[in-house]
Structure 1
């Protein structure tokens, strides 16, 4: 039998600490600072994926809502930053490494997804280059440490530049997994990337300083995400072009929730949900047009039958 393919923690030591002790202490401190649960237990979270020095504290508010004792499988939907995709792709690895401990991929679920003919395979090089999924792994390992690597598996999915029709299609494909209380979805996304280096400088002067304009713009998007209305979120993106890098994974989640809400069984209403944003931050406050910043937000989704 061939050895399982491992995806190394390629951004450890740069985007976050490669020291198990240091990383563990940082994650513990951020989770403690986030305080008690506010909207859990989570069936899905939205979490940022920048370097931990920028967004680690923000991400803790989302990860605090995951209940390890009821979670058996964690889907990770991250946007593709480096390879062109018009659909979604799955890893060729069986194990994802983290400085804390290694995470096992659920290859059985992968086979189910491949059977739909809607998923590509990404190369191990493309996998290791991408940070949007990797930046969630150490937090997952930390919040799931009480059950350990044998107690759960992960399902990483790289999400490309999807059309609205494909967002709906992937949402419907994944809805049955979201409906399972043993599954949690992690949606990897930063919010507004503002500045000339991002080719985005939308500024409404009537909204105040530049950083206040950015916050209002993000808050508009966050409110629409909380409404769980994928078409409204799509219209907002079309109007403002806000550079939310995980907009496609977010839209897939919204379509999955909508599918569950519209699905009935034996005449009973479908599954309903509530999504709340718990924390928002910016990497810096932009005051001049030459400034730049990235926004971060954490959210959690509850579902009920």
Structure 2
């Protein structure tokens, strides 16, 4: 029986041995050689067929929680950026739609900088890739010149963790929505940047290195934006609180609990609306991020980079599953 268990583990590459290591090495080598970041979620998180996917996304806009279809005439121009969710589309599609209605009506950008979240551990605070992103609506090209210019300004190799992009959904979901909006209307490029977890510095060496790396990268990104001469919209692809049994919490999530969650999230979002970076950071750190705001690094980066004077909360939502667990998320616009 023991041999049978070992054989089964080995067959499924669950043992740390030469077979599993060779498999992982080949996966990484193949990804590195490829110019395409294949769509890892078509057919699971959303429809793989482009016509069915269009119908699915149309439904998010016109759903009771949605904002309605974008106006072809637009409303106003000058959109500098948005915050959009990265929860599965089936759980938060209408909230995505609020951010993308704003982009459709108010952005003239030809370059979208997407600040996603790395849900896998990384060596550095940021992870770049210059691969083309595949979607059911067609491919989305990265701006290689922008990425090269950004990378040359840094001593850190931000392509070192590039393999993390392979199955990471936080940028891929935004690429799908952008291609949905513009695949027949205009050409655009993206700059895909994954943000890894970090905390406030506490005086130790790790905190000091993180702070230095963050400041240098943000400075380089702002400089590259200014040098590019392009019309740019920045998208922070983030979710907010992760609470409940799936995330190690024991509280019962009754109506009062979820209302308190909404209140705490809304208080935090007010700092973002006021463009108050210090207040936002303090709101996360005051309770050691007890709500597990996974979007913290990308929102922090956005607030440090974006040249905006006005921010508005468009939609706040919560998704509760059947395991006494809840994820919250929001869409916001920056002008």
- Which bracket does the TM-score occupy, shorter chain normalised? 0.7 to 0.9
Q: CA deviation at 1:99?
A: 0.6
Determine the C-alpha separation between the residues in 2 that align with 1:125 and 1:172.
25
Q: What's 1:264 paired with?
A: none
User: Contact 2:77 / 2:108 at 8 angstroms: preserved in 1?
Assistant: no
* Residue 124 (structure 2) aligns with: 86
The alignment of Structure 1 onto Structure 2 pairs a total of residues equal to: 279
Any stretches of 5+ residues in structure 2 without a counterpart? 1-32, 201-210
* Partner residue of 1:11 out of 41, 44, 47: 41
CA distance in 2, matches of 1:38, 1:216: 30
* Aligned residue number for residue 108 of structure 2: 70
Q: Which residue of 2 aligns with 1:189?
A: 238
Q: 1:209 to 1:255 in 2, by over 3 A?
A: same
Cα gap change, 1:254 to 1:124, in 2 (>3 Å): closer
**Where do 1:18-167 residues align within 5 Å?**
18-32=48-62, 33-35=66-68, 41-67=78-104, 70-93=108-131, 95-117=132-154, 118-122=156-160, 125-148=163-186, 151-162=187-198, 164=200, 165=211, 166-167=213-214
Is 2:111–2:230's contact at 8 Å kept on the other side of the alignment?
no
Q: Give distance in 2, aligned partners of 1:204 and 1:228.
A: 31
User: Aligned equivalents of 1:82 and 1:225: distance in 2?
Assistant: 26
CA distance in 1, matches of 2:253, 2:39: 40
Distance in structure 1 (CA, Å) of the matches to 2:127 and 2:77: 29
State the alpha-carbon separation in 2 of the partners of residues 285 and 215 from structure 1: 16
Residues in 1 aligned to 2:252 and 2:261: alpha-carbon distance in whole angstroms: 7
In structure 2, what is the Cα distance between the partners aligned to 1:9 and 1:40?
31
Please, which of 275, 279, 285 is the counterpart of residue 311 of structure 2?
275
How many Å separate the matches in 1 of 2:301 and 2:56? 31
Provide the aligned C-alpha RMSD in A: 2.8
Structure with the higher helix share, 1 or 2: 2
**Which residue is equivalent to 1:295?**
328
- 2:130–2:143 Cα contact (<8 Å) kept: no
TM-score normalised to structure 1 length: 0.82
Structure 2: distance between partners of 1:29 and 1:64: 13
**Judging changes above 3 Å, is the alpha-carbon distance between structure 1 residues 83 and 21 closer, same or farther for their aligned structure 2 residues?**
same
1:165-218 residue CA offsets vs partner (Å, 9 max, x unmatched): 34444333323466667111110101111112212468999xx71110111111
Asked which structure has the greater CA Rg, the reply is 2
Q: 1:237 maps to what in 2?
A: 284
The SS at the match of 2:194 is strand
- SS of equivalent residue, structure 2 residue 310: strand
Quick check: 66-75 or 28-37, which moved more? 28-37
